[in-house]
Amino acid sequence: MRSPSELTTVFRSQGMKLTPQRQLLFRLLHGNITHPSADALYLLASAHMPGISLRTVYQTLNDLASMGELQQLALGTGSARFDPNIGAHHHTICQRCGEVRDVYLTGDMPAYVQDLAGFVVDSAAVVLHGTCAQCRAGESTAKSDNRRNNVVYNKENST
Amino acid sequence: MRSPSELTTVFRSQGMKLTPQRQLLFRLLHGNITHPSADALYLLASAHMPGISLRTVYQTLNDLASMGELQQLALGTGSARFDPNIGAHHHTICQRCGEVRDVYLTGDMPAYVQDLAGFVVDSAAVVLHGTCAQCRAGESTAKSDNRRNNVVYNKENST
DNA sequence: ACGCTCATCTGCAACTCATGCGAACAACCA
DNA sequence: TGGTTGTTCGCATGAGTTGCAGATGAGCGT
Ligand SMILES: [Mn+2]
Ligand SMILES: [Mn+2]
Ligand SMILES: [Zn+2]
Ligand SMILES: [Zn+2]
């Protein structure tokens, strides 16, 4: 995803308005490596702008995704995850706490044993399911519903 | 997934009952390569046993999945897909019609550029997003909601 | 600065997919 | 055949997401 100031230019050039809600979400998403869900981002945004609506968060996430500024990940955790890192990379997901982290693989996909019967591949997604170090260390810190905890406001984006 | 007769033995040995609903679903799933959703399987089952409930289909799919007889795929198409093929393999998914097909890859995953920071991998899933041959051929045959059509009762399992 | 206009925001209803629940049912065994 | 108990079914509920329409306000021309 491009920087908030670059997005400012892009949005203006498309006749779109620069609302405080959008500006906040731009800042919260830029450089965010937590792969937040819409709800997680909503909680985070609410701390900075009480009253912002979940609907607006969804709206903005969808806008950014359809503009190609965000990648939408469907990892089967119940809710979609959004990723401002739109470069080629893959993910690990902890089956216990839901944390998603980036993984960069060497080389390309292996060759196919069978031909794909005319199927044309647009993109390949590799998802490594497993358990993160923190969850393996202690059960006490890893509750079943701490999926929201993995959204940590990274200092770089702080006001 | 094991054969219906094998599952009969397994279920009985676990104190579970062999209802007609379960027997039908065993037959409809065995060798089924369409990766049906619960709803798609429900529609198929309803043709053979009018009155069977969607709830029972979900129940049986979950039972089989937790017994390790089925693989549950979260491909982000809106609903979970169930796969009686529990061997190591991967999938293509057509972004237009939702068709899911098996893909077998040569060799193992590429080595990781970065270490996984203590993350222990249980399984790796590769999903190739793209467009199937049929959808590329003609728009006319590929409506947006023909996701249900991809469940074809394969002759081998016919009564 | 002011007012106009139209994109946006917000709250709520609706929708899809999946599960919880309890009464009716029926497979299995004695 | 009758009783026990797992199963089925219908409906309510829940999570996640989108549709909708009135209120709001950003951007622009004056
Ligand atoms: Mn990522
Ligand atoms: Mn498969
Ligand atoms: Zn974890
Ligand atoms: Zn297709």
Q: Tens digit of pLDDT for each residue in B60-90? A: 999 999 999 999 999 976 899 999 999 999 9
Same domain for A96 and A148: yes
Same domain for A48 and A21: yes
* C-alpha to C-alpha distance for A81 and A77, rounded to whole angstroms: 9
Number of domains in chain A: 2
Distance A101 CA to D14 C1' (A): 28
Is B106 touching A (CB cutoff 8 A)? yes
So what's the pLDDT on residue A153? 26
**Is the Cα torsion angle B80, A61, A70, B134 positive or negative in sign?**
positive
Q: What is the CATH number of the domain that holds A112?
A: 3.30.1490.190
State which residues form the domain around B3: 1-87
Is A128 touching B (CB cutoff 8 A)? yes
Same domain for A120 and A59: no
Nucleotides, chain D, CB distance < 7 Å: 6-11, 15-20, 25-28
Contact B105, B91 (CB under 8 A): no
Contact B36, B44 (CB under 8 A): yes
Same domain for A115 and A69: no
The reply to whether the CB atom of residue A154 sits less than 7 A from any atom in nucleic acid chain C is no
Summarised one tens digit per residue, pLDDT across range A11-43 is 999 999 999 999 999 999 999 999 999 999 999
**Residue A151: DSSP 8-state:** -
Contact A83, A62 (CB under 8 A): no
Same domain for B79 and B34: yes
Same domain for B99 and B51: no
A91 CA distance to ligand 3 middle (Å): 13
Record the pTM. Answer: 0.86
| B120-141 core/surface letters (b: 16 or more CB in 10 A; e: else) | eeeebbbbbbbbbebbeeeeee
Strand partners, A130: A94, B121
* C-alpha to C-alpha distance for B54 and B46, rounded to whole angstroms: 9
**Residue B102: DSSP 8-state:** E
Same domain for B125 and B66: no
Element (H, E) at A10: helix A4-13
Final residue in a domain of this structure, among B56, B87, B118? B87
A2-6, A107-111, B8-12, B143-147: which has the minimum mean pLDDT?
A: B143-147
Q: What is the CATH number of the domain that holds B46?
A: 1.10.10.10
